[in-house]
Structures are given as structure tokens and as C-alpha cells.
């Protein structure tokens, strides 16, 4: 009984999916780079014959190192099953291709990761899939958008880049009543902060590139959900369309993931210190961080996030000029895209440009975006350096503007 007690998240981050190698006793996971595996005659040639217990055959189908990462992800998210991909976008695209056919309807957050937003404008409509984009921070808008052809609802919380939150439980209730599948991108919060499956979603999506890898040296993605659906998705989409991860990247991500809980604690601590320093700075006009009392959805953040993560945005009087100064003058923080690395990263996102390129928003949706982003935001992914050094770096650069 005691032996079967679910271990704590830090223990599972280290041990889940791993065990000493039965042949050599090697304590750390082996890296199996082999693209093919010696099999018995008559093993078959089509993925149709594969099931979860089939022996390894070809690495696009399944690979032991990738499988270890999938097991670790399942343990942390509390999922039955997981399939890992070459990138977050490969995971998202595969989810869409699995659930949506010509004539079907998708309801998606009107602000989501740029490439997810962009395929909802171009690729999906071209395949005959109807898309409705709504402000999912207002769950009633999701309810109103659902029709008889709706097959999937897609949310992201906090959403990239504006740090607006969606009440996962409220949207899950609406999805359940309508009999529609719900997917949540949990990249920003990570399973340390939020476990959307426990709140009623059907699928969790991750860009493993970000916090889960944590070190900015491997791109990957994952989709987690019910075993039967993930098995179907693996077979019909992942293996056939081939957006699979390199075992080497899976191994790097697994190595990074072992320290996810302590890194997230450090990210949160640093982000809160930097957010408070920025809030007090005379040149900073607004700061958005779910862990600050001033975030318009702070109460929801407290309810839904056990860790507020390390990403914040802030606004200044002259964004474009400040971006120039940051790109040239910051010493510790890199002026670069991406997030969730141990290293701090900052990037400027001008509102008018985002509204016309990635998001294409009008009317009330435009206003909701602007309420969180003003004329433009600096998205700062606070790394796990000493917060005092990050604050000093920002203050020294801001003094030059």
C-alpha cells in the first residue's frame, strides 16, 4: 500500500519513466539513437498492426528514449498517455488534423501562440475547417460560439504573449455540456503550476522547448490525453505524418525536466521580484504578471495556478526606442524570442503589428488585447539568475532611454 502511494512531484520529475538499465545497471537513462530495431520475421510492415505492446520497430513509430520522456510527462500531468513530437507546433497541428475534417468547426482562443493563431487563419480554412476565434477569458463567448459541427475547443492560459488567463474549469464545463473536446496549451504554467486534465480538459499541449526542457537547447512538443485517443493519434497522424522528435532531443528534454519543480520555484521567485521592481520604476507604465495583485485576473490565477511561472510583460512610454536600448545594452538578459529557459530572455511585441499579423483582431477582441498590451509589450521570461542582477540590468538600460 505504502509502496503504491503517489510520490511527490519532485520525486516523479526525477524518477518517472526511468529505471536502472536491466542489463548494465546504468543509473541514468540510456540514449538510444538507433533508427531501426532487429525484429522477428513476419513482424509486419504497416503501422496498422502496431499496438502499445508491440516490440520496437522503427524510431518514427516508437523509440525507448522518447518513450521514457512520454512516461515522465504523463506522470507530471496526471495523464493516461502521451505522444511527443519534434516541436510544440507539430503537436498542435497533429491534434487539429486528428480531430478536424472538412466541414468541422474549431473554437480557438483569439490570442494564442502566434503560429497556432496563424494556422487558424490560413491552413485550417484551406482544408475546409471553419474557425471561430473568441476571447476565452469570457467563457460565455465559448458557449455562444459552439455549433452542431464544433469538434474541438482550444485554449491557452496564460496566453502568449499578453498573459491573459482563461478559467479552465469554466470552459471545461461548457465543453462537457456540449459534448465537445477541449484542449489546453499548458506551456506557460507547466504541470508544476496547473494540471488542466484535473480541471476537466481532454488534452494538454506543450511546447517542451520552453520550461520543460528549460535550458534552451532542444525543441520538442507533446500532447497528453486519454489512452485510446492518443493511441489513435499516434498511429494515424504522428507516425504517418512524421513530426517525431530526435531521441537526442528527447534525452536532453528529459534531463532538463528532472529539475522542473525546483526551476519553477526559482522562476516564480525571480519573476515576482523583477515584477515588483518594474512596477515601482518611474519609466514603466504597466506590468502584467499573474502573481501580482494588480493583474486583472489575479483571483483566478490564485485559484488555478500553484506557481505563477516566470513570464511577465511590461510597458514603457517609448517601446521601440527602449527595444533598441535593450537589444544593444542589456548585459545579462538576452534580447531574443522564446521563453522558459534558465537564461532570461526579453522581446518587444508592438501591439499594432501583432493585431494585424498573427492575431487579426477587430472590435471588442482588439480592445481586450489592448487592455493587456497597451501600444506594445516587453515579454520578459525571467530566468533563474540572481534577481538582483536582472533588476540592475533592466534599471541600467532603462536609465539610457
Ligand X SMILES: *Cc1c(COP(=O)(O)O)cnc(C)c1O
Which position among 89, 257, 272, 346 is part of the footprint of ligand X (CB under 6 A)?
89
* CA–CA gap between residue 230 and residue 205 (Å, rounded): 12
- Asked, as a colleague might, if the bond just before 124 is cis with ω within 30 of 0, I would say no
Q: Which residue number, 68 or 109, has a Cβ lying nearer to ligand X?
A: 109
Q: Which residue number, 314 or 347, has a Cβ lying nearer to ligand X?
A: 347
- Binding range to ligand X, per CB under 6 A, among 81-89, 121-129, 166-174, 300-308: 81-89
Supply the minimum distance, in Å, between the C-beta of residue 89 and ligand X: 4
- Binding range to ligand X, per CB under 6 A, among 83-91, 102-110, 226-234, 284-292: 83-91
Quick check: 207 binds ligand X (CB under 6 A)? yes
Contact 243, 87 (CB under 8 A): yes
Q: Which residue number, 188 or 326, has a Cβ lying nearer to ligand X?
A: 188
Q: Which residue number, 187 or 194, has a Cβ lying nearer to ligand X?
A: 187
Instruction: Give the nearest residue (CB) to ligand X.
Output: 88
- Binding range to ligand X, per CB under 6 A, among 60-68, 84-92, 223-231, 321-329: 84-92
Quick check: 194 binds ligand X (CB under 6 A)? no
Residue 391, classed as helix, strand or coil, is: helix
Quick check: 221 binds ligand X (CB under 6 A)? yes
Supply the minimum distance, in Å, between the C-beta of residue 112 and ligand X: 7
Residue 341 CB partners (closer than 8 Å, separation 6+)? 210, 214, 215, 216, 381, 383
Own/partner pairs, 342-346, CB within 8 angstroms, 24+ separation: 342/214, 342/215, 342/216, 342/263, 342/383, 342/384, 342/385, 343/216, 343/383, 343/385, 344/380, 344/381, 344/382, 344/383, 344/385, 344/390, 345/380, 345/381, 345/383, 346/378, 346/379, 346/380, 346/381
* CA–CA gap between residue 113 and residue 162 (Å, rounded): 10
Quick check: 187 binds ligand X (CB under 6 A)? yes
237: nearest Cα among 116, 85, 36:
85
Q: Which residue number, 133 or 210, has a Cβ lying nearer to ligand X?
A: 210
Supply the minimum distance, in Å, between the C-beta of residue 92 and ligand X: 6
Supply the minimum distance, in Å, between the C-beta of residue 91 and ligand X: 8
Alpha-carbon torsion (193, 204, 161, 142), positive or negative: negative
Contact 125, 131 (CB under 8 A): yes
Which position among 59, 81, 87, 249 is part of the footprint of ligand X (CB under 6 A)?
87
Quick check: 210 binds ligand X (CB under 6 A)? yes
Distances 183 to 10, 102, 155, 177 between C-alpha atoms, Å:
25, 19, 6, 15
Q: Which residue number, 79 or 95, has a Cβ lying nearer to ligand X?
A: 95
Q: Which residue number, 158 or 284, has a Cβ lying nearer to ligand X?
A: 158
Quick check: 209 binds ligand X (CB under 6 A)? yes
- Binding range to ligand X, per CB under 6 A, among 37-45, 206-214, 224-232, 249-257: 206-214
Alpha helices in 293-380 (DSSP H): 298-304, 319-329, 351-356, 363-373
Q: Which residue number, 82 or 89, has a Cβ lying nearer to ligand X?
A: 89
Q: Count residues contacting ligand X (CB under 6 A)?
A: 14
* CA–CA gap between residue 360 and residue 357 (Å, rounded): 6
- Residues 143-182, one symbol each (x = binds ligand X by CB under 6 A, - = not), give -------------x---x----------------------
Which position among 57, 96, 98, 113 is part of the footprint of ligand X (CB under 6 A)?
113
Residue 131 CB partners (closer than 8 Å, separation 6+)? 105, 106, 108, 120, 121, 124, 125
* CA–CA gap between residue 13 and residue 260 (Å, rounded): 7
Supply the minimum distance, in Å, between the C-beta of residue 312 and ligand X: 14
Quick check: 250 binds ligand X (CB under 6 A)? no
- Binding range to ligand X, per CB under 6 A, among 86-94, 233-241, 268-276, 302-310: 86-94
The residues of the shown chain that bind ligand X, judged by CB under 6 A, are: 87-89, 113, 156, 160, 185, 187-188, 207, 209-210, 219, 221
Amino acid at each position: 500500500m505504502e509502496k503504491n502511494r503517489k510520490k511527490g512531484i519532485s520525486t516523479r520529475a526525477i524518477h518517472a519513466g526511468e529505471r536502472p538499465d536491466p542489463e548494465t545497471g546504468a543509473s541514468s537513462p540510456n540514449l538510444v539513437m538507433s533508427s531501426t530495431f532487429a525484429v522477428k520475421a513476419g513482424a509486419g510492415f504497416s503501422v496498422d498492426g502496431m499496438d502499445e505492446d508491440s516490440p520496437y520497430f522503427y524510431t518514427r513509430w516508437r523509440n525507448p528514449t522518447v518513450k521514457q520522456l512520454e512516461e515522465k510527462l504523463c506522470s507530471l500531468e496526471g495523464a493516461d498517455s502521451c505522444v511527443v513530437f519534434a516541436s510544440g507546433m507539430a503537436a498542435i497541428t497533429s491534434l487539429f488534423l486528428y480531430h478536424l475534417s472538412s466541414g468541422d468547426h474549431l473554437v480557438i482562443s483569439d490570442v494564442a501562440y502566434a503560429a497556432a493563431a496563424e494556422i487558424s487563419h490560413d491552413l485550417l480554412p484551406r482544408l475546409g475547417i471553419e474557425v471561430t476565434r473568441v476571447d476565452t477569458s469570457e467563457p460565455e463567448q465559448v458557449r455562444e460560439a459552439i455549433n452542431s459541427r464544433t469538434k474541438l475547443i482550444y485554449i491557452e492560459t496564460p496566453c502568449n504573449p499578453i498573459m491573459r488567463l482563461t478559467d479552465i474549469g469554466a470552459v471545461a464545463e461548457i465543453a462537457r455540456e456540449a459534448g465537445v473536446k477541449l484542449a489546453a496549451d499548458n506551456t506557460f504554467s507547466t504541470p508544476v503550476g496547473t494540471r488542466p486534465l484535473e480541471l476537466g480538459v481532454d488534452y494538454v499541449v506543450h511546447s517542451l522547448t520552453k520550461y520543460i526542457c528549460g535550458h534552451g537547447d532542444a525543441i520538442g512538443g507533446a500532447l497528453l490525453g486519454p489512452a485510446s485517443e492518443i493511441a489513435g493519434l499516434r498511429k494515424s497522424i504522428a507516425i504517418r505524418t512524421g513530426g517525431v522528435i530526435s531521441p537526442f532531443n528527447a534525452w536532453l528534454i528529459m534531463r532538463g525536466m528532472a529539475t522542473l519543480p525546483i526551476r519553477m520555484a526559482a522562476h516564480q521567485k525571480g519573476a515576482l521580484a523583477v515584477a515588483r521592481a518594474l512596477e515601482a520604476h518611474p519609466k514603466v507604465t504597466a506590468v502584467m504578471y499573474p502573481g501580482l495583485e494588480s493583474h486583472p485576473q489575479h483571483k483566478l490565477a490564485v485559484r488555478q495556478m500553484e506557481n505563477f511561472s516566470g513570464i511577465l510583460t511590461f510597458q514603457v512610454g517609448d517601446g521601440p526606442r527602449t527595444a533598441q536600448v535593450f537589444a544593444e545594452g542589456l548585459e545579462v538578459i538576452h534580447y531574443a524570442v522564446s521563453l522558459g529557459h534558465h537564461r532570461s530572455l526579453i522581446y518587444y511585441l508592438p501591439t499594432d503589428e501583432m493585431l494585424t499579423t498573427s492575431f487579426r483582431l477587430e472590435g471588442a477582441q482588439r480592445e481586450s488585447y489592448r487592455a493587456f498590451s497597451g501600444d506594445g509589450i516587453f515579454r520578459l521570461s525571467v530566468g533563474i539568475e540572481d534577481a538582483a542582477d536582472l533588476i540592475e540590468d533592466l534599471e541600467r538600460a532603462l536609465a539610457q532611454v
